[in-house]
Structure 1
Amino acid sequence: MTTDTTPRGTRPSSFGVTHPLDMLTAEEITAARDILVRDGRVGETTRFPRLLPVEPDKRAVPDPGADDFDRSVLATLLDTATGRVSEAVVSVTAGTVTSWREVATEEHPYGQPPYLMEEYGRTAEIVKADPRWQEAMARRGITDTAHTFVAPLAPGHFPREGETGRRMIRSLTFHRRHAGDNPWAHPVEGLIAHVDLTAGEVVRLEDDGDVPVPMEEWNYTPEHTGPARTTLKPLEITQPEGPSFTVDGTFVRWENWSLRVGFNAQEGLVLNQVAFRDGEEDRPVLHRASVPEMVVPYGDTAPTRYWISYFDAGEYSLGKNANSLELGCDCLGEITYFDAVVADDHGHPMPIPHAVCMHEEDYGVLWKHTEPGEASQVRRSRRLVISYFATVGNYDYGFFWYFYLDGSIQMETKATGIVFAGAAEPGTRNPHAPEIAPGIIAPVHQHIFCARLDMAVDGPENSVEEENLVPIPTGPENPYGNAFTYERVPLSRESEAVRDADSETGRRWYVTSANRRNAVGRPTSYQLTPMAGPRLMARPGSSAGERAAFARHHLWVTAYDPRERFPAGDYPNQHAGDGIGRWVQADRPLTGTDIVLWHTFGPTHIPRPEDWPVMPVDYSGFWLKPHGFLDANPALDLPDRAAPGGGGHGGSGGSGGECCH
């Protein structure tokens, strides 16, 4: 019997909340579960694959200090005994369930909630108990499977009898010879278990071929790699007077920037109400920014890999898999951490200490000029770094937001970890999976991230323009052959704003204010400079092509709708396809209105031997830069390190006109 302790009409401050955009607290998660228990919605087999904050109407966010706003959560409930899925909105301040609906996972276009942490271990138990799997391992000479790793993998959407509309997971096998061994070095090629998680059984086992299991040791921890090199001399970062930023709860001020740090189980790090101070005014730039989805489609035709196209947020919950960051390893310098709390499988609070790291970094020269006979004028740049790391299976992803003194914002992802390995006869040539170590192959694949940028350039009424460089034919308008120009074209409707990067034309996109102009009479704006990498390589009509429609193009612009948060839809797991490709069919107008930019970017990875056994970081990202947002360089007032008393930006000060670059 559960005793309801949830208060009715509780104020947010009772839950440790001071602002509507604060992260969920442990008290709120507990209260939400208690309310659902009280309403008879939670039984012995109920699990919580997803619990997210319901964000307030952005047009009605109250002033700081108010304590009469609503705090609600969106809870997805899974009955593991029946596979039934429900979705509830729970107001923890009112103490009530304000909405409830059944999710039709058995009907087209299907879809399932993200996987539970407990389902990973359960998958291993189910597979290892299957006699067919045991026989397949024994045929390969492996009878001691105590440490063998059964990898639980999202199955994609490939309608098969007995699978469609059911909660499925596929499993590949990687052998561990002993505890602590690197399993990815010992792939059991051709062995695939198809598991019905609700029924608790392997509904089909594929065993294709007799490729030997690679047994060479590829462990990478210090006890296996030998003595560490001693040639690197100390590199110290010190801020004897402390950092330049201030933190009040989740509200951050650094130089001209202000913002609120958010975090949730699906998206991970979220930045809210980003503004840049111009004189005495905090001018809005972004209402909300996050990377709410990514897809990792593989380009191999082998039975063990053709179906792989992981959605690491929608299938596995990026934020729920966030690391607790460590000083000196993940973050270096004068660090401030933000703790996060998400719900575990049972709907109880699961703290993630040090989930988000914030610090300052020197970033070289910001601006410099030397006039003949005069001392050089040089100012050093620095940036505010806000970041987190998530580990999903074999890969680790870092998400880094950088804020610069000149008003620029950079988003950078860092992909590292271990490439997804398979096995082949040594020396085998495979156009889809190069050999990276003797007998070990790694398939070609992509990491396509999607950033959601809820723009607010000088307010919510914005428009979008595309700029391209334009060559001019030699002739009357270009008599010397040197002239070129540029043109900007408005993207007035959603159908016009599905666009791709073009490095040949230097294509960029501008978000312009409908209500404010700069000193030269132009609308104030911010510029999106994209990463012009490959788009989704999977063909139109393919499973990955339908499910990851957002990855088909580098830019989508939509009219703001609070229901449109995840570019592949709310439940991409086993879904036939949803999200942004469907939303833009409404063809809503985009002129002088509340708009959202969706930018896709990321590396296409052809693995190499140097990526093995653990991969150096692969970087990708984009920039948002002020373009006519300000009337002049906002960093003219930075201190001159060469002047007396001018050391403070970038390290120790110089003297006598000498300055380091």
Structure 2
Amino acid sequence: MYVGLEEPDKSEVLADEAGDGPTPDRRARVMMLDMASGAATDAIVSLTDATVLGVENVDAEVGQLPILDAEFEIVAEFLAGEPQWNDALRKRGVDPTKTVAVPLSAGTYDNPNEAGRRIIRSFAFVQDHEKDLPWAHPVDGLCAYVDIINREIVDLVDYRIFDVPAESGNFDTPEVAGPPLEGLKPIEITQPEGPSFTVDGEHIEWTNWSLDISYDQREGLILRKLTYQGRDVMYRASINEMVVPYGDPSPNRYWQNYFDTGEYVFGPYANELTLGCDCLGEIYYFDATLADEQGSPRTISNAVCMHEEDYGTLWKHTDIFTGMSEVRRQRRLVISFFTTVGNYDYGFYWYLYLDGTIELEAKLTGIAFTAAYPEEGSDYQSLVAPGLGLPYHQHLFSTRLDMAVDGVRNAVEEVEAARVPMGEGNPWGNAFTVAKTRIGSEADGARGANAATGRTWHILNTEKTGRMGHHPAYALHAEQTPTLLADPASSIAGRAAFTTKQLWVTRYDAKERYAAGDFVNQSAMGGGLPAYQSADRSLDGEDIVVWHTFGLTHFPRTEDWPIMPTDYAGFTLKPYNFSDASPVMNVPPTTAKHCHGHGS
């Protein structure tokens, strides 16, 4: 299921680089599933010594390994020959040979006959021909609960018969999409002297930035050892988890809550970016080599794309006294990848800016998950085509930010605007100030955003100060979007507790890599971040990790069907008293030949 780097402790790596310790042993973590018995093992292997250091059995009561592609194939083949399933399809007037099974992760519920079993739940969709997109034709009111190891249906939910929506969703055909849009002229982005970045293996240099990148089977793109102006900012950054909880309580879909990293492991689904225009300009591609499901290496060509792009005005001033008029252009380095998980396509774009800002933007597109829309209407779906509904849902991501602002002795302050009451010291009532609260320990380390006060979180170095006496910091700016909307007592709230707060702060531990825990598939409640924080370790002046939850809530519209225009979610990290003065005063002006237009 997984082969990846078992990363050494940060302290060992830093000691080795400083010449104060030995080179850490290079190790791999290997997760394997016995398809015959269901036995799951989690092994650590030394690549340095070619030895197995340990093997543990995965406890099914804690959670199970992610789902293999091979298991999805087995479910489809099994259901195709299952009389109970085929009879339910025929009862709806559906030809079983013209359907596709859509197997999905099961979640964790107190359903009879499921304890200790490896469960996959499956819907059916009609596919009229091999080029037909089946998402337009859900066979609703029906769901099979399959024990994948024993190859048996443990339950068949058949609670209602809906008409199968007939209208085509084939947006790649003129019949659905209409004639090509006319009048768009080509946009060409050129860099005649080449890009401003340099690449040496996995190491990247760009203006004041330096970093390494890597690619993991579970997390996808990882940024490592980011420095700005030669100073440490962050040791490691990645998307470590994401979940898509649906809000339709129908008997056959109440369980729809997909962890696209922990249950499906989205790294291997990265798109090869050789075709189309995923990136534009002077592009550098990185390949990703992963293990396939037999443990053999498989290379995804052009999995990661890197390029520069203009980003408008960096700074500008026209002075009324001196007559000076100056403007500088902002630009950013873009490092990105796109992965397709079932019906949705996700792009993750890391942006590094000239002024030291870091930004992550998730781009969401593809095909929204479909259902048959009830004749009586629904409080939990949007009607987008005749008989076709799109259930309400959320996309919630966790990014793990292993911070190292000017070193590893960091702390987090919650910073927000504060009104000052009218009275002594504020007789005219115009005053306002800033309130700062230091997060002392993990007991206080789960925090919510607050748009009313403009709340941000400053990750600061507690040992160093700049010219004006400030502690150098990076400020995390969260988007003000809803956290998990499911009831706090729900299964998904317990399994995906990271979605209930925008910020979690923990003491660094190399083994704590995933916000929902190591084994998310059919997991127990309370794993991941709540378990990590239960130790109540000190966070003031320590080596800390910041976990940020962000995302969006999707109440679909007709414009989202049959292909969804890209929607966006993300966050920003901005330097705050990190530099002693503006770090972009020395950016040169753009030459005139690049600022001309028609008629100039």
Aligned to 2:430: 482
Q: Distance in 2 between matches of 1:449 and 1:312?
A: 10
Query: Are the counterparts in 1 of residues 421 and 429 from structure 2 also a CA contact under 8 Å?
Result: yes
Q: Secondary structure at the match of 2:522?
A: strand
Indicate whether 1:299 and 2:247 are aligned. Answer: yes
Instruction: Give the structure 2 partner of residue 154 of structure 1.
Output: 105
- CA displacement, residues 496-544 of structure 1 (integer Å, 9 cap, x when unaligned): 1211000100000011112211111011111001112101111112100
C-alpha distance in structure 1 between counterparts of 2:325 and 2:497, whole Å: 51
* Offset of residue 118 of structure 1: 1.1
SS of the counterpart of 1:126? helix
CA distance in 2, matches of 1:304, 1:274: 46
Report the 3-state secondary structure (helix = DSSP H, G, I; strand = E; otherwise coil) of the residue aligned with 2:464. Answer: strand
1:218-617 mapped onto 2 (5 Å cutoff): 218-224=169-175, 225-277=177-229, 282-326=230-274, 328-372=276-320, 374-425=323-374, 428-577=376-525, 578-617=527-566
Q: CA deviation at 1:654?
A: 6.4
Unaligned runs of 5+ in 2: none
Q: For residues 184 and 429 of structure 2, what CA distance do their matches in structure 1 show?
A: 52
| Alignment of 1:115 onto 2:57 | no
Deviation at 1:182, TM superposition (A): 1.1
Per-residue deviation at 1:240? 0.9
Distance across 2 between alignment mates of 1:186 and 1:388: 30
The 2-side partners of 1:496 and 1:92 are apart by 40
Aligned residues: 592
Distance apart, 1:328 and its partner CA: 4.5
Within the alignment, does 1:137 sit opposite 2:85 as a pair?
A: no
Q: How do 1:169-188 and structure 2 match up within 5 A? A: 169-188=120-139
- Structure 1 residue 579 displacement after superposition: 0.6
1:76 maps to 31
Amino acid of the structure 1 residue aligned with 2:30:
A
Distance of 1:328 and 1:208 partners within structure 2: 43
Give the counterpart letter for 1:598 in structure 2: W
- State the match for 1:3 in structure 2: none
Distance in 1 of aligned mates of 2:80 and 2:190: 52
Q: TM-score, normalised by structure 1?
A: 0.87
Alpha-carbon distance in structure 1 between the residues aligned to 2:347 and 2:274: 14
Amino acid at match of 2:41: S
Q: Structure 1 counterpart of 2:266, which letter?
A: L
Cα distance in 2, alignment partners of residues 437 and 415 from structure 1: 21
* Partner residue in 2 for 1:193: 144
CA contact (8 A) 1:464 1:511 kept: yes
Q: Which amino acid aligns with 1:104?
A: D
The Cα shift of 1:142 comes to: 1.8
User: 1:599 & 1:238 partners in 2: Cα distance?
Assistant: 36
Match of 1:10 in 2: none
Alpha carbons of 1:213 and 1:91: their partners in 2 closer, same or farther (altered >3 Å)? same
Question: Quick one: distance in 2 between partners of 1:68 and 1:431?
Answer: 59
Q: What do the CA deviations read for 1:364-421 (whole angstroms, capped 9, x no partner)?
A: 0010000126242100000000001111111111111000000000011011111111
Cα distance in 1 for partners of 2:69, 2:551 equals 27
1:652 matches 2:594:
yes
Q: Distance in 1 between matches of 2:18 and 2:425?
A: 57
How far has the Cα of 1:52 moved from its partner?
1.5
Look up the SS of the partner of 1:573 in the other structure: coil
Separation (CA, whole Å) in 2 of partners of 1:68 and 1:55: 13
Cα distance per residue 1:165-195 (max 9 Å; x no partner): 1111000111101101111100001110111
AA of the residue aligned to 1:595: I
Q: In the alignment, which residue of structure 2 is the partner of 1:53?
A: 5
CA contact (8 A) 1:195 1:203 kept: yes
Query: What is aligned with 1:208?
Result: 159
SS at match of 1:431: coil
Secondary structure of the 1:135 match is helix
8 Å CA contact 1:466, 1:488 repeated in 2? yes
CA distance in 1, matches of 2:152, 2:559: 39
Kindly state the Cα deviation for residue 68 of structure 1 after the two structures are TM-superposed.
Answer: 5.8
Q: Percent identity?
A: 48
Q: 2:52 aligns with which of 68, 93, 97?
A: 97
Instruction: Tell me, yes or no, if the aligned pair for 1:558 and 1:597 is still in contact at 8 Å.
Output: yes
Amino acid at match of 2:44: V
Separation in 2 of the partners of 1:342 and 1:161?
A: 38
Distance 1:226 1:507 in 2: 46
Give the deviation of 1:479 after TM superposition: 2.0
User: Equivalent residue for 1:128?
Assistant: 80
Aligned amino acid, residue 103 of structure 2: P
Instruction: Tell me how far apart the structure 1 counterparts of residues 195 and 502 of structure 2 sit (CA, whole Å).
Output: 36
Quote the offset at 1:69 in angstroms.
4.9
Query: For residues 322 and 452 of structure 1, what CA distance do their matches in structure 2 show?
Result: 20
Contact residue 50 and residue 113 of structure 1 kept, 8 A: no
Deviation of 1:582 (Å): 1.6
Measure the CA separation in 2 of the matches of 1:619 and 1:434.
Answer: 20
CA-to-partner distance for each residue in 1:469-520, whole Å, 9 max, x for gaps? Answer: 0011222232222211111110011111211000100000011112211111
1:137 to partner: Cα distance: 1.3
- Residues 137-158 of structure 1, C-alpha deviation per residue, up to 9 Å, x if partnerless? 1122222x33422111101001
The yes-or-no answer on 1:87 pairing with 2:42 is yes
- Listed as ranges, the gaps of 5+ residues in structure 1 are 1-48
Q: Give SS of 1:586's match.
A: coil
Q: Does 1:638 align with 2:587?
A: yes
Query: In structure 1, what is the Cα distance between the partners aligned to 2:588 and 2:359?
Result: 23
Question: 2:165 and 2:427 mapped to 1: Cα distance?
Answer: 66
Q: For 2:173 and 2:317, how far apart are their aligned partners in 1?
A: 47
1:50, 1:219 → 2: CA distance? Answer: 35
TM superposition outliers: structure 1 runs of 4+ over 6 Å: 64-67
Distance 1:420 1:50 in 2: 27
Q: Residue 223 of structure 1: CA displacement?
A: 4.9
Contact 1:559 1:588 in 2 (8 A): yes
For 2:217, the aligned partner's letter is A
1:547/1:425 CA distance change after superposition, 3 Å:
closer
**How far apart, in 1, do the equivalents of 2:18 and 2:219 lie?**
25
The question of whether the paired residues in 1 share the 8 Å contact of 2:10 and 2:510 is answered with no
RMSD of aligned residue pairs (Cα, Å): 1.8
